[in-house]
Structure 1
Amino acid sequence: MSKPALPIFDGHNDTLLRLEMARRNGAPISFVDGHPSLQIDLPKATKGHFAGGLFAMFVPPILNDAEKNDPVARQKAIEASDAVDWTLGMIAEACRLERASNGRVRICRSSADIKQAMADEALALMLHIEGAEAIGADFNALEAFYAAGLRSLGPVWSRDNIFGAGVPFDFPGSPDHGPGLSDLGKELVRRCNQLGVMIDLSHLNEKGFWDVQKLSDKPLVASHSNVHKLSQSRRNLTDKQLDAIAESKGLVGLNYAVGFLRSDGEKFKRDVSLDLMVDHLAYLVEKLGEDGVGLGSDYDGATVPDVVADVSLNQKLIDHMRHRGFGETLVEKIAFKNWLGLLERTGI
């Protein structure tokens, strides 16, 4: 007898960015009605039993025509005014889609809100900032974004800013690239701890990782990162980092991006098997324990395997964990329970 579908809570997607980009291009698309260009929308979420997740607000590189195909240019600094403008646009997208959903999507500000949304069969949307350029050196925006619902923040994307240094997408490579957090970055960690905003270590370089580990009194979290030993991207986590996350009772969310799964680092080859995805999950469980592993798909922000091409197909990964011998208790934890437990341990 086949096992039932499980609700899935996902630690990272870029769907709000896709919606905001479409609006700015003069061709808005609907999350509620669904759109072929989206890997997450409400019809696909319903089909795939997607219960919700951390919805990232990432400011894309502001490039001229000559820079659009230059990978180095993609990592150039973002002006604070552009960052604020884009972030406000994505918060507005979240508010609009919540309103348009007639109760089927809710912006959640706590783990209790998420549990209630799941009980009511509404999609739980929690706001996350990926790269803190919009915060600014005076931290006033942090207070405003928190009031709007921000509950998770990555100090950097894979580019440097006033808070710290990100890791580039080189392969092979080590996350030990560049200096640690700036004084402002250290203050950002302290203020997030005080407010109840989770610090996300994905994209942060290794020295910055250890700075957070020393400063933060909360569990260490990498919302969408994989195992460096299996795929030697700079973006993936070393055994030493995984040990520190385990010691803090933190969590790592499996990133579906093919370049962070494959041993050859190929970024656009989508013929990645469920077996390889579960290999990363199994390694993470071995290092972090059964309570320290979740999903962090990076849908709408990355090239993902064809076998899980959008959120409607996520149950295939759930079933393959079962096929590989993961017990039902562990599968449920990875699917949604570990993220809820992590948010509670973080005070959210």
Structure 2
Amino acid sequence: MGLLRSDRVTQRIFDGHNDVLLRLWQRDRTGARFLSEGTDGHLDLPRARRGGLAGGLFATFVPDARPAAEGPAQRADGSLAPPSLAALDHERALAVTLSQLAIAFRVERASAGAVRICRSVADIAAAHAEGRFAMMLHLEGAEAIGPDLDELEILVQAGVRSLGLVWSRPTIFGHGVPFRFPSTPDIGEGLTERGIALVKACNAFGVMVDVSHLNEKGFWDVVAVSDAPIVATHSNAHVICPVSRNLTDAQMDAIRDSEGLAGLNFATFFLREDGRRHAETPLSLMTRHLDHLLEKLGPRGVAFGSDFDGALVPAAIGDAAGLPHLVAAMEQAGYGAELIDAVCYRNWLDVLARTLKADVQHSGTAALPIG
């Protein structure tokens, strides 16, 4: 197959969140669909190349066993009615997670070198220098990990470098914030003792902890216990769109103080003031969120967390090939070249460098603080 390169110069982008592995698990477990251009979903390798997308965090996600249970229903007035979500069965969650990770390795193997699964920032930089697409593995929700955390060590050895403690449902580690609009994120209890142990274990392994789906009490528990940057891979500004999943200004202050980062989520119901799913959402609203995130977090604390293949995104972007339209909107909003490069690419690599530990990156060894 050889290495795929864009025919034109585009802004290089690293993205903090997508659900491609879930889409492949549901439709093509060989992974071949990712390597050729398709018409379904948002992201495959050819569209990534056309859009300047050089890599990103690829999430595993375990859907509820009941069809159509994921995500909120939207009422006529635009408010979100949260679905009834129960905790997942651990055995099933582990099986689905391993299946999706296997798809990632099949993609890498079948790509003939065009895709590289990266375990360190050095791996990402090398992949980009060689024209390869950089894929880093992330768990969206830790249901695959049991109470003794044994699975975490295995998953780290398999290449997982980023972990969301919860999705928007309860686990043995804490409570995900349900989808509600309008609503604050202050819903439910904080981390459990096992959740605190998991944060400490991730710190020891150099695994990035993602707070995007965590409720507010759990967020502050992570702030209190973690010695690593606080990262929300795909969350927006609550002051603009008051959905429970977005970040309050106080949360952004804590992220900034930890030298962490927030990734702009492209999902329209996390962007719009009315909280609606609507493809005709202007890109100016995305730059409005970026403006606020930059004001609170600073130029080193903001990036992209698209949620490609996991949400409805503005029609003006459409899919990964449309990313240059967002870059153009940033230019029109007065963003300079250095800031655009930081938000699009450099900030993710910098926060990963502040989080992933060199000994873990290369040898995979760390002491687990359990008990």
TM-score between both structures, scaled by the size of structure 1: 0.95
Mapped partners of 1:12, 1:290: distance in 2: 20
Is it true that 1:44 corresponds to 2:44 in the alignment? no
Is it true that 1:302 corresponds to 2:311 in the alignment? yes
Q: Deviations over 1:202-237 (max 9, x none)?
A: 000000000000100001100000000000000000
Runs of 4+ in 1 over 2 A off after TM superposition: 67-74
Q: CA deviation at 1:310?
A: 0.4
CA distance 1:89–1:290, change in 2 (3 Å): same
Q: Deviations over 1:121-166 (max 9, x none)?
A: 1110000000100011111110111001000000000001100001
CA distance 1:68–1:347, change in 2 (3 Å): closer
Is it true that 1:83 corresponds to 2:86 in the alignment? no
Matches within 5 A, 1:1-348: 4-23=9-28, 30-63=33-66, 75-266=85-276, 268-348=277-357
What is the count of residue pairs matched by the alignment?
342
Equivalent residue of 1:30, what SS? helix
Structure 1 residues not aligned, in runs of 5+:
none
Q: Deviations over 1:9-59 (max 9, x none)?
A: 0000000010011137xx976111132113110110111111000000010
> CA contact under 8 A between 1:181 and 1:211: conserved in structure 2?
yes
> CA contact under 8 A between 2:139 and 2:164: conserved in structure 1?
yes
> CA contact under 8 A between 2:31 and 2:106: conserved in structure 1?
no
Equivalent residue of 2:270, what SS? helix
> CA contact under 8 A between 1:63 and 1:73: conserved in structure 2?
no
Query: Could you tell me which amino acid in structure 2 is paired with residue 337 of structure 1?
Result: R
> CA contact under 8 A between 1:295 and 1:335: conserved in structure 2?
yes
TM-score between both structures, scaled by the size of structure 2: 0.89
Mapped partners of 2:162, 2:223: distance in 1: 16
Mapped partners of 2:45, 2:31: distance in 1: 16
Q: CA deviation at 1:311?
A: 0.4
RMSD over aligned CA atoms reads: 1.7
> CA contact under 8 A between 1:61 and 1:74: conserved in structure 2?
no
> CA contact under 8 A between 1:131 and 1:154: conserved in structure 2?
yes
Query: Could you tell me which amino acid in structure 2 is paired with residue 35 of structure 1?
Result: G
Q: CA deviation at 1:4?
A: 5.0
Q: CA deviation at 1:61?
A: 1.0
Structure 2 residues not aligned, in runs of 5+:
1-7, 74-81, 358-371
Equivalent residue of 1:317, what SS? helix
CA distance 1:176–1:42, change in 2 (3 Å): same
Query: Could you tell me which amino acid in structure 2 is paired with residue 276 of structure 1?
Result: L
Mapped partners of 2:152, 2:72: distance in 1: 32
Mapped partners of 2:31, 2:159: distance in 1: 23
Equivalent residue of 1:243, what SS? helix
Mapped partners of 2:58, 2:70: distance in 1: 25
CA distance 1:69–1:30, change in 2 (3 Å): closer
Mapped partners of 1:73, 1:332: distance in 2: 38
Q: Deviations over 1:177-215 (max 9, x none)?
A: 000000000000000000010000000000000000010
